[in-house]
Amino acid sequence: MDKSKKIVITYGTFDLFHIGHLNLLEKMKNLGDYLIVGVSTDEFNAQKSKKTIINFEDRLRIVQGLKCVDLVIPETCWEQKQVDIKKYNVSVFGMGNDWEGHFDNLNQFCKVVYLPRTEGISSTKIKQSLNILDKTHVEKLKNALDTISSIVERFD
């Protein structure tokens, strides 16, 4: 990696890519000259008890397609961050402020920053709103409609 460039690195799952992801990555890019993004693999997410909707290969391609991102790498474990900081001569490690304090130990290798997230949006919120479409909720709705229908029939 070019030693004259200020290298920034961040990591994430980037499931159900939304405007909050884009805002965060653009802010990260503004911290330096070159942005590296580690995208969590499906296997690593499973270790973190996270289930994604979009598979790793597709999430990787989405992030690679962003003009603010210079390099995308797979994230396979927690320990990788320290290795990547050294490998890529990183100046700034950045994460969303929901991770505040979790990576302060990396300050010995580079500057650590926590940036504000976009208010009102997250992949978790999107997934929760989609729960109404899952099989259990559809079955509950069907049962409720059956109950309402039987009540209406009594008045006919």
Walk across the sheet containing 71-75 and list its strands: 71-75, 34-40, 7-12, 92-96, 111-115
Tell me how far apart the alpha carbons of residues 45 and 12 are, in angstroms, rounded to a whole number: 10
User: pTM (2 decimals)?
Assistant: 0.78
48 is catalytic: yes
pLDDT at 128 over 70: no
Q: What is the DSSP letter of 117?
A: P
Catalytic entry in 5, 27, 48, 125 = 48
Query: What confidence score (pLDDT) does residue 136 get?
Result: 72
Question: What pLDDT score does 127 carry?
Answer: 60
Given 6, 50, 111, 127, which residue is catalytic? 50
3-class DSSP state for residue 135? Answer: helix
Residue type, 129: S
Q: Give yes or no: 67 in active site.
A: no
